[in-house]
Amino acid sequence: MGVSLWWGAVAASSLILGAWLGVLRPWPEKAIGLVLGFGAGALIASISFELAGEGFQVGGPWPLALGLTAGALAFFFADRAVERWGARRAGGGAGLPLALGALLDGIPEQAVLGIGFAQGEGVSLALLVAIFVSNLPESVGSSTQMVGGGTPRRTVLALWLVVTGVCALATTGGYAAARVTAERFEGAVDGFAAGALLVMLVASMVPEAKERGGNAAGLATVLGFAVAAGLSVPS
């Protein structure tokens, strides 16, 4: 479990790194868009090869399908609640919904890392890269908005430190759950994470990458997919 926590902290560390970069200076929209595109491509590859593929193998089609549905619905309604709450905020609340969104994304992503360790597969480099890269633009964008809205830099960094810690701990949660549950449940958990991530990708990450990065975001997405696919280890 200690090893899973270490790799979970490595994956989540890009959240606090992005927050630090965001409070340090403003970043060009195009650069953020290209990073978003790369991260989206890496996540698509991880969903295909690591989550859906592994979930089907260990749990079969129905647990995977049920997990996909549950994850998609959970993220959809949680994300809508965050958007409604964020719409009522002003000033210093700017950027906070992005931080909550990163938390909603990060927990299932990191739990899957822990599941891989519990199954004796070690760290998934493809998923690790996807999580690390996709975290950066969320934390950079959120911290930039919060500082621009008047939130003190120390408060911004403290918030992202908490988010980073929770996401890292989710890795040990996935590890513990997989150690005491049947393979069908593990397949459903893989599906849950995949469903949540697919909704996030289609609803926000890919459109935002295109809006900020322009046409080059498509190339960055393919590059991210290629890198993560190359790092995937066939089971």
Q: Is 104 exposed, middle or buried (0-12, 13-18, 19+ CB in 10 A)?
A: middle
Tokens (6 digits) for 205: 């990450």
In the chain, where the domains are located: 2-231
pLDDT tens readout for residues 174-220: 888 777 666 677 788 778 878 888 888 888 889 888 998 999 999 99
106-138 pLDDT, tens per residue? Answer: 787 788 788 777 766 667 777 788 788 878 877
pTM of the shown model: 0.78
Percent of the chain with pLDDT over 70: 88
DSSP letter for each residue of the chain: -HHHHHHHHHHHHHHHHHHHHHHH----HHHHHHHHHHHHHHHHHHIIIIIIHHHHHHH-HHHHHHHHHHHHHHHHHHHHHHHHHHHT--GGGTTHHHHHHHHHHHHHHHHHHHHHHHTT----HHHHHHHHHHHHHHHHHHHHHHHHTT--HHHHHHHHHHHHHHHHHHHHHHHHHHHHS-HHHHHHHHHHHHHHHHHHIIIIIHHHHHHHHTTHHHHHHHHHHHHHHHH----
First vs last C-alpha separation in the chain: 22
170 vs 138: which has the higher pLDDT? 170
C-alpha distances in Å from residue 204, one per residue of 135, 177, 222, 235? 13, 29, 17, 31
The average pLDDT across 56-74 equals 89
Measured over the CA atoms of residue 128, residue 229, residue 199 and residue 115, the dihedral's sign is negative
125-148 vs 153-180: helix crossing angle, rounded to 10: 150
Model confidence pLDDT, tens digit, residues 29-46: 898 888 888 888 888 887
